[in-house]
Amino acid sequence: MAVCRNGGDFAAPVISISVPVVVSGAGGPAAAGIALGIFAGGSALGGLVYGALRVPESPIRQLLVLTTALVTISSLIALVTGAVSVTIVLATAGLFFSPVMIVAYFAAHQAGGEHRQNSATTWVNTSHNIGASLGSALAGIIIQATNVPGATIGIVAGAAVLLIASAASGRGSTNARR
């Protein structure tokens, strides 16, 4: 199921691992905490706004577009320096995190059919937890071995592979239903 291959869950952890490193010289732990709090606030705001919209696209297409936006904006963390720039990137990226999760649950619920909705939405939790765990571990290892830009490029490349696989899988299942 394409819903389970959510590249955003793989890429978003690079934020929580990278931010303390990026802002260590510009405000340290307090700046990192504020920036990550702004990310969470942006996520809440994005969820509220997206939940109020009526988007005509299929859930799978919405998920691919939103996840691509989340991964793309999150990747800017590799290019910015300073607490203010990092916070602006995180506020913007945060706007897409909750919408990704909302649409992932909706798409899974829909894909599960009448008798498998619970198990389908459980896979959203499972893929989120696995993606976040793997993404965090990989980001930490790569940051330690190289730097934040190196980790970001590596994690974003992995997320891009997952997004491409999801798009191909979603297209194949759409064609099979016709």
Mean per-residue pLDDT over the chain, rounded: 82
Q: Read off the pLDDT of residues 68-118 as tens digits, 9 standing for 90 and up.
A: 899 899 889 888 888 899 899 999 999 999 999 999 988 888 887 777 878
pLDDT > 60? residue 172: no
| Contact call for residues 82 and 32 (beta carbons, < 8 A) | no
Question: How far apart are the C-alpha atoms of 32 and 22, rounded to whole Å?
Answer: 9
What's the pLDDT at 175? 47
Residue 70: Cβ-neighbour burial (10 angstroms; 0-12, 13-18, 19+): buried
pLDDT > 90? residue 168: no
Q: Read off the pLDDT of residues 9-38 as tens digits, 9 standing for 90 and up.
A: 555 667 888 888 888 877 778 888 999 999
Lowest mean pLDDT of 90-94, 119-123, 136-140, 166-170, name the range: 166-170
Q: For residue 31, give the nearest of 39, 20, 41 by alpha carbon.
A: 20
What's the pLDDT at 79? 87
What's the pLDDT at 80? 86
**Structure-model confidence comparison of residues 167 and 73, the more confident one:** 73
pLDDT > 60? residue 4: no
Q: What percent of the chain has pLDDT above 70?
A: 88
CB atoms within 10 A of CB 3: 26
What's the pLDDT at 118? 81
Question: How far apart are the C-alpha atoms of 124 and 5, rounded to whole Å?
Answer: 9
pTM (2 d.p.): 0.81
pLDDT > 60? residue 6: no
Query: Angle at which helices 83-111 and 117-145 pack, to 10 degrees?
Result: 150
Question: How far apart are the C-alpha atoms of 27 and 81, rounded to whole Å?
Answer: 12
